[in-house]
Amino acid sequence: MTFTRNLNLIIQRKNLDQDQMALMLEDIFSGQITEAQIGAFMAALATKGETFEELAGAARAMRRKASRIQTVSKKVIDTCGTGGDSSGSFNISTTTAIVVAGCGVTVAKHGNRSISSKCGSADVLESLGVNIDTDPEVVEEAVNEIGIGFMFAPRFHGAMKYAAKARKDVGIRSIFNMLGPLTNPAAASCQLLGVYAPQLTEMFAQALKLLGVSKAFVVHGHDGMDEITTTAPTRVSELKSGLIRSYDLDPIEFFEDYAATEDLKGGDVELNARITRDILNGDPGPKRNIVLLNSAAALVAADAAADIKEGLELAAGALDSGRAKEKLEQLADFTQENA
């Protein structure tokens, strides 16, 4: 059996090519593989260590099984990250997505409920009035008409059910924890992607390149956050025109001082929703600043800003004018009306 043969290669610490990994995932997603085999696959691959070719191959298989949405705009961005950074921060990437949409960029936000934190993107959006559990057709319409939509992972990636029990039973971080940001159902052409470890930035950028993403920032804060942080420099691997460049981005270039980690803390769903509302209502401070910085990078990735400085100005304008808040209200109204 091909799955067993490829599993033995992984156990021997041999790397697979994209096609070999895609075949393994297709077998899993078709329900042909036992939970014991899936568990062995997860453990062996995690022990060997994933390569960017393996990530891309797995993502291709998952994309093929997903429900897809078609976008009118050719420039669509996602701000989905891996999560798993244990920082306890508020929902920075979700708030960023709303601000970027307020700047006029089409956003197809991919996400799920909380896995390792108290509050995932789906949780906070639901608390903010968005109906997250809508049909793909409704999400497609929201993206194309409003300029922002939320793709709730369980609605779009039904085949993941075949790996669910093995993932829960084995209980380790595996390749399945990495695939969310690489499997956007709208095939977003540009991304701001936070990862939970610094060594992953270049690997994910290489995977995005293989998957056809045109421009991306893959980021990991030196404080451990899977965001562009404001408490320390951030490791960035930038994908642009087929080339990848890695460097450190220092927030001190844009703000007077570093933020304190405590200033970025979130909590439960209610608290995180309130934080997002406060930012959208124009409240100043470190929480606003980190959203501005991440929004600026997303705007550069989407070719809506020439550089971070211009992106900061555009993001601040979307907040101060109320355009970002209006986008959230439009999304909430639309998804409730089309439930």
Residue showing tokens 């409730």: 336
What is the rounded average pLDDT of the residues 254-267? 96
Evaluate whether residue 71 is within a structural domain.
no
Give the model confidence (pLDDT) of 180-235 as tens digits. Answer: 999 999 999 999 999 999 999 999 999 999 999 999 999 999 999 999 999 999 99
Range of the domain at 328: 76-337
Q: Are 24 and 177 in contact (CB under 8 A)?
A: no
* Same-domain status, 215 and 315: yes
The β-bridge partners of 246 are 237
* Same-domain status, 204 and 159: yes
Read off the tokens for 143: 């993206």
Read off the tokens for 212: 């056809």
Residues in the chain: 339
Distance (Å, rounded) from C-alpha 217 to C-alpha 205? Answer: 8
Which CATH number is 94's domain given?
Answer: 3.40.1030.10
pLDDT bin (cut points 50, 70, 90) of residue 117 is low
* Same-domain status, 54 and 115: no
Evaluate whether residue 70 is within a structural domain.
no
pLDDT bin (cut points 50, 70, 90) of residue 115 is low
Radius of gyration of the chain (CA): 19
Percent of the chain with pLDDT over 90: 92
pLDDT bin (cut points 50, 70, 90) of residue 249 is very high
pLDDT of residue 140: 98
Q: How many domains does the chain have?
A: 2
Give the model confidence (pLDDT) of 43-67 as tens digits. Answer: 999 999 999 999 999 999 999 999 9
Evaluate whether residue 94 is within a structural domain.
yes
Give the model confidence (pLDDT) of 285-305 as tens digits. Answer: 999 999 999 999 999 999 999
* Same-domain status, 304 and 159: yes
What is the reported pTM? 0.95
* Same-domain status, 270 and 298: yes
Evaluate whether residue 111 is within a structural domain.
yes
Evaluate whether residue 50 is within a structural domain.
yes
What is the rounded average pLDDT of the residues 14-24? 98
Evaluate whether residue 166 is within a structural domain.
yes
Which CATH number is 35's domain given?
Answer: 1.20.970.10
Burial of 294 (0-12, 13-18, 19+ CB in 10 A): buried
* Same-domain status, 14 and 144: no
Taking the CB of residue 166, how many other CB atoms lie within 10 A of it? Answer: 23
Mean pLDDT of the chain: 96
* Same-domain status, 84 and 153: yes
pLDDT score of 282 more than 70? yes
